[in-house]
Structure formats: C-alpha cells, structure tokens
Structure 1
Amino acid sequence: MVFIGIPEMGFGEDNESAYVNEEPGLKFHRLGIVIYAIELPILFAALVSLTIFLVVLKRSRCFHQPKEFVVVASKSAPAVAKANFALSFLGVIFSRYMIVIPLLISYASNVSVGPVGFCRFAKTLHDSAVYIGALDLVVLIAERTVATVFARVYENKKNTCIGIFFVIFQWIAGFAFVLVNQIFFESTEKSVIYNRLLPCQREYLSRPALQISIGTLLIADVVAIIGISGAFSNRYLSERYQIAENIRTTKLLYPLVITYLLASLIAIGLMACATIGLDTTLKALKENSHQIPLPTKDHPLITASLWGQSFDILVAIYAFMFPCLATYGHHSLWRELIKLTSHKDMRVNPSADAT
C-alpha cells in the first residue's frame, strides 16, 4: 500500500520482533486493553448515532426549502456545518477502528499485528479527519462573513461556487496538514524507543509541522468563536437580513459550539499531559546504550500513550453526543428524529416553516 509516500514496510521493522519477545513484552499494556475495550463500544454507539443523524438530515426540509442551495444558502448553513461535522466524525471513527483492532489483538496475543503501511495509512486518515472536523467552525464563519459582506447579491445570484470553494478548502486543508507532516517526518531522526513501538502505536507526524499546523488551527478557531459570538456585528453586518440569519445560525449552533470549545480545552489539557517530560526522557534514553529495555507501565512514553487514548475516548464521546447537540433548537431535525425513532404518527402542519 502506497499513500502519500507510505512504504509497504518501513523503519523500525527489524526491532518489532524484539519488541514482542522482550520482557515485559506487551503485557504492561493490560491497562491499554481495558481502555480500548471501553473505547470500542463508544465508537460503535457513535457510529450508529451519526448514521441516524445523517438519515434525519437527509429527510428533513432544511435542505429543500425554496430559494436555497445545500452548500451556500444561509438558512441551510447550520445544517451543512452539522453534516460536515458528522462526516468528519465518521472518518475519525472508521480510522480509529483500523488502529484499535490491530493493537487490541497485539496486546491480547502478544504478537505484532498490522504492517507498517496499513497502520500509517490508518493514522493518516485519522489525523486528516480530526483536522477536517476542527475546521468546520472556521468554514462556517467564513461562509457567513462572505454572505454578510456581499449581502446585496449573495442571496439573489446563488453563486454556489463560494460554498463549494469553502467545503473543498476545508477537506484539502485537512489532507494538506497530514501531507506536510509526512514530508517533514521522513527527514526527522527516529528515537530508539520509537522503533520498538508497534506500527499502530507510532505517530507519523513531524513535530515542527505539527506545531505550526496546530497553532494555525488554534488561531483560526479563536477568530471563528469571536465571530460567531457577534463581535463582527457592529462593523460588518450592515444588512438586516444577514444580521437576522447570523443570529439565527448562532442560536442553532450555540450548544454545539460551547461543547466544541469545552472539548477542545480538555483535549489541549490531555495532550499537554501527554507531552510533559517526554522529550527529556527520550533524549536521556538516546544518549544511553541502544540495548534499552522496553518501557514499563510507569515509563513517560506509556503514560503519554494512555493520555492520548483518553483524548480518543473524548472524541468518541463527543461524536456520540453530536446528534443531540445538532438537533437542539432545530425543529425540522427534531421532528424527523422523533418520526424515525418512534412509531407514533406525528402530524406536522405542512405550512409551518422549518427552522
């Protein structure tokens, strides 16, 4: 398998057998087995939840009202943003399954499972999906800003290229983030401990490129949150209609954005805990003999791995909660959800406007 320069079998290949045969081998990952056993059901529940949500979104009227287009219409902007969130979450879930299942089998059987190429592809897909999902809010605010600045012609001309451009930019930016990391990663020196990790345990990311990408994303998210809170209303929102639409969009996305912000802060804390003290430890190990015993459960690398797994569980929980947050205040979606999940005959006034 070759994807963005992924080799069939790569670096650290010679050390994998040593990794399995040495004491304590993979046995210190019993806690990892427990964590994965917790994560897998949450991922499955999130998969079912997101699938139901996409069906509800397709059946609802928010994409089929007059004078609207799926990608750029202002009234459907919240729905499009939620659809993008759901699709990015699905990418995260499927890639997590590709990563977790080989690791779970390896830990349980004490045998290395999963070639380097497959695991690197899974990590690439996972990182891309996470980054794409993180850009959803930024893309939504960009679309709303353009709709406001060009309010006099935006709704009349129905220039679908603008919306399509934003969506394509979001997905290209996500994959470009991983591509840059892959390119820089090949030129970086790998630690001894890195080569002794299972292929699906490794992170195929370059530190400088990762720091720049995450920093850019953090700044973009801050600007987007300021924008959605109404900070641009006095300066840019000159048209009454677009002001109303932005207020309406903000109300519909309020639970989603607040939860997104809280989850991001928790995720930053988890990743900070995962990296504190790790660089110093790895440098000290690198200066010693290459005959380094495998890390125990108290080793900083293992601690960092456990914190990273906590981050993945957080994402899975957020993905599971997403449909409930997305349908909050959106009567069309809520009615379709009730009709889909219950056997009651809900009679809705056809003349009522969907929100």
Structure 2
Amino acid sequence: MLKLVLSAAVALGAIGLLFLWGGIRPGEVWDAVRAIPATTFFLALGIQALIYVFRAARLRGLLAASGDESVPGLKDLTAASAAWILDSQILPAKVGEASLVLHLGRVGVRAEHGLVGLLLSRLFDLLTLVVVLGATCLALGLSGARPGLDWLTGLGGVLMLAASALALVILRGGSMLGLARRLSVRLGLERTAIGARISSFTHRVEAALRSVSKPALLRAALWSLPVWAAVLGVYIVLGTGVGLAGPGGESLGAFDLLFGSSLAIFGSLVPISGFLGFGALDLGWAWGFAALGVPEADAAATGLAFHTLYLVGVGILGAVGHTLLLRKTK
C-alpha cells in the first residue's frame, strides 16, 4: 500500500511540476489528446503491436541460444511481451520488469532461461537507445542547426563510449556473472540456505548466458533495429499527432524528433517514475523538446498528451496479452 501511495505521489508531483513549468492547465492537455485524428492513433497502435512481434522474435532467438529445450512459439512470446510491458508501466519502481520471467514460465520457459532473455533483451534495448541518442547528439551538435547546443557533440561522444562498454558487457555477460558468483562464494554467502539457493540459480543463469553464441547475439542486435525503429516511430507519430511542432509552428526535423523522443525513453528507464509511468518520461520529453526551442507550454502539454495516448495503447495490447496467457494456462 505504501509503494502505491508513493507511486501516486511521484506521478502527481511530476505532473504538477510540468503544469507549473509550462504554465498550462489540464484542459490544454485534454485538448491535445482530443485533437489527434483517429487514423493517427490507430496507426500508432498498429506500430505498437509490431513492437511486441519484433521483441518476441528477438526473444525467441535468445531463448533457443541459451539452451532452452522447448522454446514457445511467436504467438505466445508476443503475448508475454505485451503483458510484460503493461506490468512494467503499472507497477511502481520498475518492479514489473521481472514479470517477463513469470509470463515466460507460464508458456514453459524455465526461470534461468527467462532471466537470460530478460537481461539480454534489456541490455540490447539500452545499447540501441544509447547509440541512437549518441548519433543524434553528434548530428545536432556538428550541424550547428541549433544555436547554443554545441555541447551535444561532447555528449554524443560520451554516449558512443558508453555504447562500447555496453557491447562489452553483452559479449562478456557470462564471465562477469561468474566473477560475481565466485566473489559471493569467497564471502561465504552461500553458507546460508537462501544464499545456497541463490548461488545455485545464479550458476544456472551463468551457464545459460555462456551458451548464447556470438552469432546469436548478433542476430539479437539486428532484431533490436526494427524493435527500436517501431518504438521511436510510435513516439514520433503520437507526438506530432498531438500537435508537437517547432518554435514557429514549423515541423520538427528528424534528428529533433529523435532527440526529444530518446530523452523521454531514457526517462522511462529511471526507476523513480510514479503510477502508470508518469514522471521522468514526461520530464525528459518536456526538457528535450524545450531545449530545441519548442515553447515550454507546448513541450509540457504534448508530453502529457502523448503519454496518455501511449498508455491507452499499452493497456489495450497488454490486456490482450494477459488474456491470451490466461487461456494458455487454463
């Protein structure tokens, strides 16, 4: 109950901060939500559905490569992905992330293989996002199209270095987990009953991680491209649909849209978001587009309107995913 109260407080605090910062009223956000054409919303919903199909295809390859003996079909993995994303949005402090392992267990995936799929999926998500934002920062900074944003060039370079480090973590994940497990043994943590169970499970996860070959990792990296093209596509379609535009009402460029959307997604990864994910995502959107010259009121209103519509899509598709999983396990 306390977590729910804190989650609601964080969400209300972030929304209130945006109202004050942008000088907007709730009616302006609602007007932006109502203004989106139905065709635009359903286009975004269709792209959202594709995200789960692409995620399922990537996950299927990772599970097979980790040594899972009975990899579920694409339909079951798509349903699990949709249910997982809904859970991660609803539950506070990102605890819903772990639900993927539970959903995969309902379709026959052992816990250690499910955890490997979750870890590698999220690492590939983070790697792709860092590369996209890094390249976008370099493009905006070097172009000089936005006065006062020369510092983006340095940020882009730092992000590219971070991407290299993430790639190394993905390639050496099994070794790093093994090192952590051996350290816990030296510290005597496995002498307790719970420590022994954790050590045994960690050993199985380590073995599954080591089973994933470099060609399988490369295929997963390639599947991450359509996953993130679709994710960013949803942000851009919904964002422009609710009226996001440049300082003079002109259309924003591709790199502008990628920059603001990527910052919003980075915000969504921070485990301090409130109820329904409101918080850092909305602040990232508002700050990112305001930095590009979008009026603060427009940046705040379109961010909250976008997030509302995005959640509707997540809710619809997540409910379908949960329903399919329930039918599967009956």
Do they superpose with TM above 0.5? no
Q: Which has the higher Rg, Structure 1 or Structure 2?
A: 1
| TM-score computed with the length of structure 2 as normaliser | 0.30
TM-score, scaled relative to structure 1: 0.29
* Greater relative contact order, per chain length (Cα 8 Å cut-off, separation 6+): 2
Q: Give the number of the structure whose residues are more often helix, by fraction.
A: 2
